[in-house]
């Protein structure tokens, strides 16, 4: 009979020790002892607070939604107010208004001053200054309802609201009305500024002459590129229903002669030719593997030798899961009923399969906003 090698024995011992520790930590008797033991008490308290924060997280998000929906934070920009003054403005009793404001203090968005007056904190002011963030928080009303029964969502038993909000991801571009496309394009454009700026910090376009932004909506990314690279020629390729709102944005930014809108569907139509750079900004994670595979092959075929593809979107942490990609966007795309939050390595493998061989994963300055993959043909 063969004896187990040292590597196998070591592996089994690690599994046994982890299992043994898990049983200890999950024991109520151990937790009671840890909370009283002087040296361990500090760590037990921090861990307990972190666990409770997970338990009550849905309440935090709903209180945040109330603060934003009632425009409470904006009302403090000019100075401190009392619960009575806020209540009168938003239609709440002084008592309920104070509860909401106290919650805002606990979340770090407000500060309490003397004489029962409240004011905006630096964190609260910063929240208001993030482009598109308040719009996204309000948009969460759809997501909240889809997450009421997460088990049913996981089992794909829910007719989700987000799938109706983003119908274009199913490919029915002819059935998507102008109002619907403008709604999601405006929402995406509102937060596109941060994504664009983080992307352009790590992927330079100084050597590019012509950029095609596929799925660029009303042009949020293209506008940022045009402002940073005055000599670059740009085109946005997206559904015909978005063209009017995109053209109006280009004109309002005095970029009507710099950015061209090309109507079309990357599912059904050929991609425009003659561009040495192509961008896919928050596009892939909206779509299934099959759609992404076909799109990447189209992009590869459309680029000249030496042309580059830049991909930027929220990504999974892969072997090192993160909250933005592996919690928020993983379930958000699940509620959309198509697409997924992929890791940079997964996207790179799909690009390899499409034909790209020179692939880089730049270090993202703020992965919770966006991560990127750069491919050169």
Q: Do 312 and 224 reside in the same domain of the chain?
A: yes
Domain boundary among 128, 152, 178: 128
pLDDT value, residue 175: 52
Q: Which of 109, 128, 147 is the endpoint of a domain? A: 128
Q: Please report which helix (H) or strand (E) contains residue 235, including its range.
A: strand 233-238
Pairing label, strands 233-238, 277-281? unpaired
> Are 202 and 224 within one domain?
yes
Task: Kindly state the tokens that stand for 118.
Answer: 């409240």
Q: Quote the tokens at residue 174.
A: 């002819």
Residues 6+ away with beta carbon under 8 Å from 258: 226, 233, 234, 250
Q: Are residues 229 and 82 in the same domain?
A: no
Q: For residues 199 and 317, state if they share a domain.
A: yes
Q: Per-residue pLDDT for 124 more than 60?
A: yes
263 within domain boundaries: yes
Residue 47 lies inside a defined structural domain of this protein:
no
Residue 262 has pLDDT above 90, yes or no: yes
Q: Is the per-residue pLDDT at 6 higher than 60?
A: no
Cβ(136)–Cβ(188) under 8 Å? no
pLDDT at 12 over 50: no
- Tell whether the model's pLDDT for residue 126 goes beyond 70: yes
Q: Are residues 119 and 167 in the same domain?
A: no
Please return the burial class of 55, using the count of CB atoms within 10 Å of its CB with bins 0-12, 13-18 and 19+: exposed
- Are residues 332 and 187 located together in one domain of the fold? yes
pLDDT tops 90 at residue 29: no
Q: Mean pLDDT, to the nearest integer, of 189-209?
A: 88
Q: Is residue 31 part of a domain?
A: no
105 and 205 both lie in a single domain: no
Phi, psi of 339 (to 5 degrees): 80, 175
Query: Do 149 and 61 share a structural domain?
Result: no
Residues 85 and 217 in one domain: no
Q: According to the model, what pLDDT value does residue 20 have?
A: 54
Which has the higher per-residue pLDDT, 163 or 313?
A: 313
Residues 179 and 220 in one domain: yes
Quick one: pLDDT at residue 21?
52
Percent of the chain with pLDDT over 90: 68
Mean pLDDT, residues 232-258 taken together: 92
Same domain, 296 and 257: yes
Q: Residue 261 burial by CB count (10 A; 0-12/13-18/19+): exposed, middle or buried?
A: buried
b/e 42-54 (16+ beta carbons within 10 angstroms → b): eebeeeeeeeeee
% of the chain surpassing 70 pLDDT: 81
The pLDDT confidence band at residue 192, using thresholds 50, 70 and 90, is confident
- Range of 93's domain? 57-128
Residue 41 lies in a domain: no
| SS3 (DSSP) at 213 | strand
Residue 11 maps to a domain: no
Residue 109 forms part of a structural domain: yes
CATH code (residue 308): 3.40.50.150
> Among 44-53, 170-179, 332-341, 347-356, which stretch is predicted with the lowest mean pLDDT?
170-179
State pLDDT tens for residues 132-187.
888 889 889 989 999 999 999 999 998 999 888 766 555 555 554 555 555 555 66
- Collapse the DSSP code of 233 into the 3-class scheme (helix H, G, I; strand E, B; otherwise coil) and give the result: strand
Out of 51-65, 94-108, 315-329, least confident range: 51-65
- 226 and 111, same structural domain? no
- For residue 342, pLDDT over 80 is answered with yes
Residue 5 lies in a domain: no
**Model confidence, pTM:** 0.82
Strand pairing category for 371-376 and 308-313:
antiparallel
We report the CATH number of the domain holding residue 96 as 1.10.10.10
Instruction: Examine residue 66 and state whether it is found in any structural domain, yes or no.
Output: yes
CA-CA distance, 304 to 277, in Å (whole number)? 9
CA-based diameter of the chain, in Å?
83
Q: How many domains does the chain have?
A: 2
**Which domain-ending residue is among 128, 161, 178?**
128
């Amino acid at each position: 009979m063969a004896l187990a090698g040292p590597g196998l024995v070591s592996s089994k011992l690690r599994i046994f020790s982890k299992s043994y520790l898990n049983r200890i930590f999950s024991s109520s008797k151990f937790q009671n002892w840890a909370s009283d033991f002087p040296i361990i008490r500090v760590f037990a308290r921090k861990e307990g607070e972190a666990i409770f924060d997970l338990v009550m997280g849905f309440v935090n998000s709903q209180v945040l939604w109330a603060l934003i929906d009632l425009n409470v934070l904006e009302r403090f920009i000019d100075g401190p107010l009392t619960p009575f003054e806020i209540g009168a403005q938003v239609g709440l009793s002084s008592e309920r208004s104070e509860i909401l404001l106290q919650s805002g203090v606990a979340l770090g968005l407000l500060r309490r001053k003397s004489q029962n007056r409240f004011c905006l904190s630096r964190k609260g002011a910063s929240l208001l200054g993030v482009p598109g963030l308040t719009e996204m928080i309000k948009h969460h009303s759809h997501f909240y309802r889809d997450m009421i029964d997460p088990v049913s969502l996981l089992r794909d038993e829910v007719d989700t609201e987000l799938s109706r909000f983003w119908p274009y991801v199913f490919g029915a571009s002819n059935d998507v009305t102008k109002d619907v496309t403008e709604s999601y394009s405006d929402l995406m454009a509102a937060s596109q500024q941060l994504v664009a700026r983080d992307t352009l910090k790590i992927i330079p376009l100084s050597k590019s002459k012509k950029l095609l932004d596929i799925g660029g909506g009303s042009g949020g990314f293209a506008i940022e590129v045009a402002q940073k690279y005055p000599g670059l020629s740009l085109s946005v390729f997206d559904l015909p229903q978005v063209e009017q709102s995109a053209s109006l944005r280009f004109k309002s930014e005095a970029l009507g002669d710099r950015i061209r809108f090309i109507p079309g569907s990357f599912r059904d139509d050929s991609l425009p030719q003659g561009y040495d750079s192509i961008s896919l900004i928050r596009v892939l994670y909206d779509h299934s593997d099959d759609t992404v595979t076909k799109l990447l092959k189209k992009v590869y075929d459309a680029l000249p030798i030496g042309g580059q593809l830049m991909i930027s979107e929220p990504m999974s942490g892969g072997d090192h899961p993160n909250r933005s990609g592996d919690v928020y966007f993983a379930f958000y795309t699940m509620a959309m009923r198509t697409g997924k939050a992929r890791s940079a390595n997964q996207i790179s493998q799909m690009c390899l399969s499409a034909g790209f061989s020179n692939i880089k994963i730049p270090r993202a300055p703020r992965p919770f906003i966006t991560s990127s993959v750069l491919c050169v043909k």
